[in-house]
């Protein structure tokens, strides 16, 4: 098994009705890695998620904790609240990871190891790229719709990012990150894009990150796990949200007289 020594990383795991899908053994293995802790965010689940999380946390010798949101608030808010809590608790690096482990534990640890090796990097993004030798299994329809969306997101952000929507991302703690998480996201399904935009443009007067501080890493293993709650009409909503973000960023660029996408 992969073992890496990494700065204190807190992995936030948003959980909405995950009693069936969440694998306690794998999450306990993650929580027991050196320098890693896990923070589950129970997003107003109505199944047995809370009991399961309590059990996992009880067995983790304090390495896994959970916080509960009173109402179902959506992945964006669950992740935001978890990341803020992790920063407040003093984590040097915060991450988020889907409860269904579409991105496996060892891949998350590999990304965390890269964060340790590359101190100049502020953000590490897992990326679902089908390459020979990699086991990236996605349903064809979601793959192609996802590619259209990801290309549009890259153009809107002016950032050469391949996959904004992969549910595995790590961030070094900074004032810029704190400011970027300070207010709820406006979008429900594409908060990843919104978060990247806030980091790239700087929120609340904090310095912006530049593209050299982002590292995108093709995952060796990723799989679609059954039970996704994402529906086709959510994708339509995502497209209109992206158009809105694009307009906001254009406005911001013009106001600050920043270079456009082509110059970045």
Is 107 or 201 the residue whose CB approaches ligand GDP more closely?
Answer: 107
Binding mask 148-167 for Mg ion (x = CB under 5 A): --------------------
Q: How far is the CB of 168 from ligand GDP (least distance, A)?
A: 11
Candidates 85, 206, 221, 228: give the one binding Mg ion (CB under 5 A).
228
Size of residue set near Mg ion by CB under 5 A: 3
- Nearer residue to Mg ion within complex by CB, 13 or 199: 13
Segment contacting Mg ion by CB under 5 A, of 32-40, 45-53, 102-110, 119-127? 102-110
Interface residues with ligand GDP (CB under 6 A)?
14-16, 18, 43, 72, 74-75, 78, 98-100, 102, 167, 228-230
Which of 71-79, 96-104, 110-118, 243-251 is the region at the interface with Mg ion (rule: CB under 5 A)?
96-104
- Please report how close the Cβ of residue 15 comes to ligand GDP at its closest, in angstroms: 5
74 contact, one of Mg ion, ligand GDP, none, CB 5-8 Å limit per kind: ligand GDP
Q: How is the chain classified by DSSP, letter by letter?
A: ------S-EEEEEEESS-TTT--HHHHHHHHTSTTEEEEEEEES--STHHHHHHHHHHTTTTSEEEEEESS---HHHHHHHHHHHHHHTT-SEEEEE-TT-SS-HHHHHHHHHHHHH-TT--EEEEE----TT-EEE--HHHHHHHHHHHHHHHHHHTS--S-S--SEEEEE--HHHHHHTSS--S-SS-HHHHHHHHHHH-STTPPPP-GGGEEEEE-SEEE--S-----HHHHHHHHHHHHHHHHHHHHHHHHHT---GGG-
């Amino acid at each position: 098994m992969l073992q890496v020594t990494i700065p204190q990383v807190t992995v936030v795991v948003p959980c909405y009705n995950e009693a069936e899908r969440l694998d306690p053994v794998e999450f306990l293995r993650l929580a027991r890695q050196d320098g890693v802790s896990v923070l589950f965010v129970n997003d107003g689940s109505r199944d047995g998620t809370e009991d399961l999380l309590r059990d996992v946390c009880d067995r983790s010798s304090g390495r896994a904790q959970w916080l509960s949101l009173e109402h179902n608030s959506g992945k964006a808010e669950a992740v935001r609240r978890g990341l803020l809590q992790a920063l407040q608790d003093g984590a040097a690096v915060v991450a988020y990871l889907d409860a269904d482990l579409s991105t496996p534990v060892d891949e998350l640890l590999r990304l965390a190891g890269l964060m340790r090796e590359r101190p100049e990097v502020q953000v590490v993004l897992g990326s679902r790229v089908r390459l020979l030798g990699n086991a990236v299994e996605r349903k064809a329809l979601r793959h192609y719709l996802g590619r259209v969306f990801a290309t549009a997101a890259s153009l809107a952000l002016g950032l050469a990012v391949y996959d904004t929507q992969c549910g595995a991302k790590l961030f070094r703690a900074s004032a810029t990150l704190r400011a970027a998480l300070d207010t709820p996201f406006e979008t429900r399904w594409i908060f990843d894009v919104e978060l990247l935009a806030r980091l790239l443009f700087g929120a609340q007067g904090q310095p912006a990150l530049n593209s050299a501080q982002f590292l995108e890493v093709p995952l060796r293993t990723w799989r679609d796990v059954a039970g996704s709650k994402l529906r086709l009409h959510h994708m339509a909503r995502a497209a209109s949200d992206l158009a809105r973000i694009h307009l906001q960023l254009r406005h911001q660029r013009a106001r600050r007289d920043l270079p456009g996408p082509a110059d970045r």
